[in-house]
Amino acid sequence: MSRPLSDQERRKQISIRGIVGAENVAELKRGFNRHLHFTLVKDRNVATPRDYFFALAHTVRDHLVGRWIRTQQHYYERDPKRIYYLSLEFYMGRTLQNTMINLGLQNACDEAVYQLGLDIEELEEIEEDAGLGNGGLGRLAACFLDSMATLGLAAYGYGIRYEYGIFNQKIRDGWQVEEADDWLRHGNPWEKARPEYMLPVHFYGRVEHSGTGAKWVDTQVVLALPYDTPVPGYMNNTVNTMRLWSARAPNDFNLRDFNVGDYIQAVLDRNLAENISRVLYPNDNFFEGKELRLKQEYFVVAATLQDILRRFKASKFGSTDSVRTVFDSFPDQVAIQLNDTHPAMAIPELMRIFVDIEKLPWNKAWDITKRTFAYTNHTVLPEALERWPVDLVEKLLPRHLQIIYEINQRHLDHIASLFPADVDRLRRMSLIEEGGTKRINMAHLCIVGSHAVNGVAKIHSEIVRTQVFKDFAELEPEKFQNKTNGITPRRWLLLCNPGLAELIAEKIGEDYVRDLSQLAKLHDFVDDDLFIREVAKVKQENKVKFALYLEKEYKVKINPSSMFDVHVKRIHEYKRQLMNCLHIITMYNRIKRDPTKLFVPRTVIIGGKAAPGYHMAKMIIKLINAVAQVVNNDPVVGSKLKVIFLENYRVSLAEKVIPATDLSEQISTAGTEASGTGNMKFMLNGALTIGTMDGANVEMAEEAGEENLFIFGMRVEDVAELDREGYDAQQYYDRLPELKQAVDQIKSGFFSSNEPDLFKDVVNMLFHHDRFKVFADYEAYVKCQEKVSELYLVSASWGTSPGTCLPIPGKGSGTVGRWGRARRPGPRGCHLHPRGSRQNSKAWTKMVIRNIAAAGKFSSDRTIKEYARDIWHVEPSDLKIPPPNEPREVAEDGTPNGTEARA
């Protein structure tokens, strides 16, 4: 368990982790015991670890609530422009530690829990991940919420409260097996149900037209019950709200359709309504046109827009008007960001509200709608772009189909007026695709219905502008922008890599946590031998800790001095885990050919989930595990090469592996990865990148200098040229002996002796259907990996003598805990690092420092500032709302303290 801080450590306290004061600690202990008492009627001695976790979570939540209420009061009184971030995914992960950091309670909680005889890290491990996302898109939304709160923006995240999040992945006999993620089974201490704001959402029915306009009638109603989760900013007392909707059947659901004798069935059929928020669709970069998915997409936007309208209409503080009845100011008060096309039905839904309910003229309603919405595109892969069948939309949302047709007709009339004889242009730009099954192109709807369209990295935005939506960009070039993604440094440095966070703060001060561009000051320390050693030491401590985790979880002994070569992300052909696998086989074959040759030891770690219906992705997982089985059990290879497939990769596991990584694999085919954010997390945490010029890798190379990354392979123009010439995989196979050997081993059953033909589909795809050209980049990738090994080896010759002693967690003078301070005193012991230790790696670590110093651009704070100024037209606020223990000035607010805020 953690121990009290020494006087020297107390003096060393810096604000990034909060102050330890006797009053704070005593207050937290009182809160903890009070909540534990509420949880348990019995003796504390019978409390379970989960009871302790909930007591701690509720204690921390107590410190959120007052700030949450004050923030919402502040917004109600000042009536700022509100930002609404609509996303079908919010991949939040765990909340406890992040909340403690943002409230400045980290060390006080640590101390209080220690004094209560508990270990805070063990309690943190009990929390379930809120896995309400598949990968990058959902995690980006989570980072953006953190930044919007930190920047003082009046922002709200809106999504669905999935009862089951992204599936839990089990690996059995090398195969992925999916298990339900019942993340709510023990309850969620961070959310609050708000039944007073429950709203109706309509489906099906028919449309009646009359002199007064259109009316959507005979609909089936589903209720949307909101659950609010507080989102604290970093040390500014701002707490914004993420509101997630849960589907509920109304009391009379279907009862009118049944005789008395069918009452039981009628009640059971309530599930049909409540299934809407039951489960997250586990697809990433793939469109699945299921009716339930469309229901989910409309459900979230219909409930959200009602909520937005209610909040807009509510009287401004101090005004005599009970409601706003004029909508001219709507775009000045409301900005709605569509996170990809999933919430695209918000555009026809807002038009329906304005035209059918509020009785606005079409042109005025359309002008307000366009000025309100902005659209972020996240992919250029054709299979990922949403195209809903017209028949399905007509059945489920008949009025919306009519509105979409009207939007399309006016849009095409405008195009025809500009390009009178260009029928092909009309076809390309239509919202309705006519070939075969008529479909609605949701990206086109988003572009036409928004005032801003952005990609998420420079190269991606350029592809969007010049290729994917070229016609639209030529028509309205000012509409298209770039907003390079970012990550929150609070979770992805302070939380997951406290040793490095503290080391940086000691060198440049703690202000970098809110202004990551200050990392550039680290350039002054690139040649500082002491700083180089300290950075290398933090990395080695993280590796030792993760090696022990791997040994415990996977029963594979890992050499913590080996290079940790990590490739973690969703399993997809375009991300090219297969190319990594071929390199593993190549390294294996080289060791087997000459076991005496000097070889830089590597631990290759691959992790990620495959969509359950994605056959090839599942085969890739099986192949990686089959290769690992052979490599890890070959006595000739020994500790020179180990391969681990991380089971159930998720946010909380990313927080463990990223700080321990030496080499980050970002090897997608150029032009396919929109941005990536994992690449940024690795860069910030001191890993070097091997990658193609794709996504944000391009800008990372610009910031750090291409010489400080390991860049290889085809560029976008090379891929296009190869497409024009025709990609022939066979010629690479014939020309490259090591590639041929690796492929032949897969094909012959070397890695699947019981089923020689097991991987025939993989081999067939590589030769005949590989859109992502693995073989074309193989040679360049292997040569680049040789450069990686060379630098790692050369680096290892510098530094202290063989036998450098480092503490092992649980065995040394104490494990390295959060913020790099010693914890859990234990028996003396050390791990001997021979010459070649990462502790000694000077040249490598200098490159690491240059990367960290160049990572400032990739903060989500910077990204959100750009959205705020260029798209939402609001300014971030430096205002610090007074904390609950300080009185609010009556003159300022004009209301008694404690007035409940409006949601």
State the catalytic residue, choosing from 58, 451, 570, 609.
Answer: 570
Looking at the DSSP bridge assignments, the partners of residue 85 are 157, 337
Q: Which residue has the tokens 């919007």?
A: 148
* Residue 733: partners with Cβ closer than 8 Å, 6 or more residues away: 739, 740, 743, 767, 775
Please say if 677 is a catalytic residue: yes
Catalytic residue among 161, 575, 576, 650: 575
CA 899 vs. chain centroid, Å, equals: 36
Q: Concatenated DSSP letters for 783-811?
A: HHHHHHHHHHHHHTTSSSPTTEEEPPTTT
Report CA 876 to chain centroid distance, whole Å: 23
d(CA 221, CA 237): 39
Q: What is the C-alpha to C-alpha distance for residues 56 and 298, in angstroms, rounded to an integer?
A: 37
Q: By CB neighbour count within 10 A (0-12 exposed, 13-18 middle, 19+ buried), where does 822 fall?
A: middle
Query: HSE (CB half, 13 Å, CA atoms) of 738?
Result: 20
Q: Are 850 and 839 in contact (CB under 8 A)?
A: no
The DSSP call for residue 588 is H
Q: Are 127 and 495 in contact (CB under 8 A)?
A: no
Written as one string, the DSSP assignment of 287-345 is ----HHHHHHHHHHHHHHHHHHHHHHHBPPTT-S-SB----TTHHHHEEEEEESSTTTT
Active site residue 618: no
Tokens 């089959």 sit at which residue?
A: 626
Name the nearest CA neighbour of 770 among 573, 584, 567, 613: 573
Pairing of strands 387-389, 439-441: antiparallel
d(CA 168, CA 162) in angstroms, rounded, equals: 14
SS3 28: helix
Confirm whether 570 is a catalytic residue: yes
Residues 538/499, Cβ–Cβ less than 8 Å: yes
Give the three-class secondary structure for 769.
coil
Secondary element (H or E) of residue 109: helix 106-115
* d(C-alpha 174, C-alpha 184), whole Å: 29
Strand partners, 898: none
- Catalytic residue chosen out of the listed positions 399, 569, 576, 831: 569
Q: For residue 378, give every residue at least 6 positions away whose Cβ sits within 8 Å of its Cβ, in sequence order, or none.
A: 136, 137, 339, 340, 456, 674
Q: Is 723 exposed, middle or buried (0-12, 13-18, 19+ CB in 10 A)?
A: exposed
Residue 663 CB partners (closer than 8 Å, separation 6+)? 563, 564, 565, 566, 687, 688, 689, 690, 710, 788
Q: Is 681 a catalytic residue?
A: yes
Cβ(597)–Cβ(640) below 8 Å: no
d(CA 55, CA 189): 9
Does the annotation mark 575 as catalytic?
yes
Q: Which is the catalytic residue, given 677, 689, 692, 804?
A: 677
Residue of 67, 681, 773, 838 marked active site: 681
**Eight-state DSSP code of residue 482:** E
Strand partners, 832: 805
Confirm if 802 and 835 have CB atoms less than 8 A apart: yes
Looking from the CA of 56 toward its CB, the CA atoms found within 13 Å total 33
Rounded Cα–Cα distance for residues 196 and 189 (Å): 20
Tell me whether residue 880 is one of the annotated catalytic residues.
Answer: no
- DSSP code at position 551: H
Q: What single-letter DSSP state applies at residue 491?
A: I
The answer for residues whose C-beta is within 8 angstroms of residue 896's C-beta and 6 or more apart is: 890
Distance in Å from the first CA to the final CA of the chain: 40
Q: How far is CA 28 from CA 7, 89, 125, in A?
A: 21, 33, 20
Residues near 722 by beta carbon (within 8 Å), at least 6 away in sequence: 714, 773, 776
Of 58, 378, 609, 622, the active-site residue reads 378
Report the catalytic residues: 378, 569-570, 575, 677, 681
